[in-house]
Amino acid sequence: VSAGRHYLWMEADGKSRGVRIQPEQVSALQSLERGGQIEIKMAPSVEGSTTYWVWHVEQDGRVIIDAENALR
C-alpha cells in the first residue's frame, strides 16, 4: 500500500467532504458500492483537531472497517 494521505470522499448535506483513512484500509473500501448509503464513525486523533479519521464503515449492514480497538 502506498504511503501518503488517503481520504474517503463522501457527500453530506450537498457538500463533498474527505475524511482521512489509514493506508491499510484502502483495499477494504474497494468493496463499497459507489453512490450507496454508508454509515461512518469518525473522530479526531488529537483532541481539538479538525482532521477526522474514519474508524468504522458500514454499508447495507455489512461492516467494511471496524477499528474501534485501535482507538484505545
pTM for this structure? 0.81
Amino acid at 59: Q
HEC sequence for the chain: CCCCCEEEEEEECCEEEEEEECHHHHHHHCCCCCCCCCEEEEEECCCCCCCEEEEEEEECCEEEEECHHHHC
The three three-digit cell numbers of residue 15, written as one number:
457538500
pLDDT tens-digit profile, the chain (72 residues)? 557 899 999 888 899 989 999 999 999 999 999 888 999 999 998 889 999 999 999 999 999 999 988 765
**Contact 27/21 with Cβ under 8 angstroms?**
no
